[in-house]
Amino acid sequence: MNHRDFAKTRVIIPICAALIVYAIFIDIAIDYVSKGQSPHPFIQFFLFEFLTNKYIKDFLFGLSFAIIIAKIVAVTVERSSRSEQKKVNAEFINSQELFFREKTEAISKSVFEGIYGIGFAPDYIDEVVKTVFGSALYRKDYHAIYRLKNCSDSTGLILNVFVSYTVVNNSRVDEIVKPMLLLDAIKTTEYIENTKPIFYKIGGVDKLTNADIDDFSSQLKYSTNNKAQLKIQPITLNPSEDATIEICYEVFKEISDNEVHQLVVPSSGFNLEIINETNIKLILGANSIHRTELLLKNTGSSTVINEKRWTLPCPTLPFHGYILYWIRE
């Protein structure tokens, strides 16, 4: 029992006791009256002399009123204190997060020199810390499937892209995830007519609306920098919480072309796949933007050249990525 509960008990118990005693005296008096007898002189004095005394009445009224006011004030203060305490706790957690990040940066600088025996330049260390340790989000189970399809325009083809992954909040505070799709290409009529988002699912629920698609198409048509950005409503992840994100879109590409993809958060479980569904013979390939090369996985048949799969056997850091290409034979 804390001090506030104890203080409430010290006030409430005497009041309850007084009410019980008063009720007992009333019951005794009623019993006497029902039998045609006069109550005991003490009871009669207590009920009709003591409790009807003006000073006693004023005292009990004032005490009752004071208790009610005190209770109201106590409840108001307690609620205000709880709200203030939540705010203080949130500020404390944020300050601790900032404190640990600053300490991590400082320790990292000393650790690097202590481990490798090299006095790295401070700006170099800062860049490493911000790039590698600055992300509170982590992406796992990254899987991208690229499908090359025939296009009504014989000068090009349609690239259907499906990407899925799970993003995890590794921070001790809530983190906001801002999903988006940014496409950048030479703006042509074919590109505008054949480029579109298909769906954008978060936790299995499609967040893409017709208004989003119309806005995206308008950007493609009227943008001066040949860029279009699809923005989805941000989501908030609690500490250790994760969310599965699935993206699908189509874009017009040349018959011999490439696709460059850059990752912006640390990732693991990297898998890449390209499938040629056109009637054109294409050479398919991919290179990693990473110190480790992509590993070609067995597609099941050495004669199958219309499908290739790769995996990256190690995690990727921000700004790592891959280049996917196809060349007409």
> Within the chain, which residues score under 70 in pLDDT?
1-65, 68, 71, 80, 103-111, 114-115, 185-186, 298-304
Q: What is the pTM of this model?
A: 0.64
* Nearest C-alpha neighbor of 2 from the set 88, 89, 78, 63: 78
The proportion of the chain whose per-residue pLDDT surpasses 90, expressed as a percent, equals 27
- Give DSSP secondary structure letters for 3-72: HHHHHHHHHHHHHHHHHHHHHHHHHHHHHHHHTT-PPPHHHHIIIIIITT-HHHHHHHHHHHHHHHHHHH
Q: How many CA atoms lie within 13 A of 188 on its CB side?
A: 12
* pLDDT value for 203: 87
Domain architecture of the chain: domains with CATH: 136-328 (2.60.40)
Q: Where does residue 189 rank: exposed (0-12), middle (13-18), buried (19+ CB within 10 A)?
A: exposed
Q: How many CB atoms lie under 10 A from the CB of residue 14? A: 10
pLDDT of residue 19: 56
Q: What pLDDT is stored for residue 244 in this prediction? A: 92
Q: What is the pLDDT of residue 274?
A: 94
* DSSP assignment of 180-224: EEEEE----HHHHHH-EEEEEEETTEE---HHHHHHHHHHHHH-S
pLDDT tens readout for residues 224-254: 777 788 877 888 899 989 999 999 999 999 9
pLDDT at 281: 92
What does the pLDDT read at residue 23? 58
- So what's the pLDDT on residue 132? 79
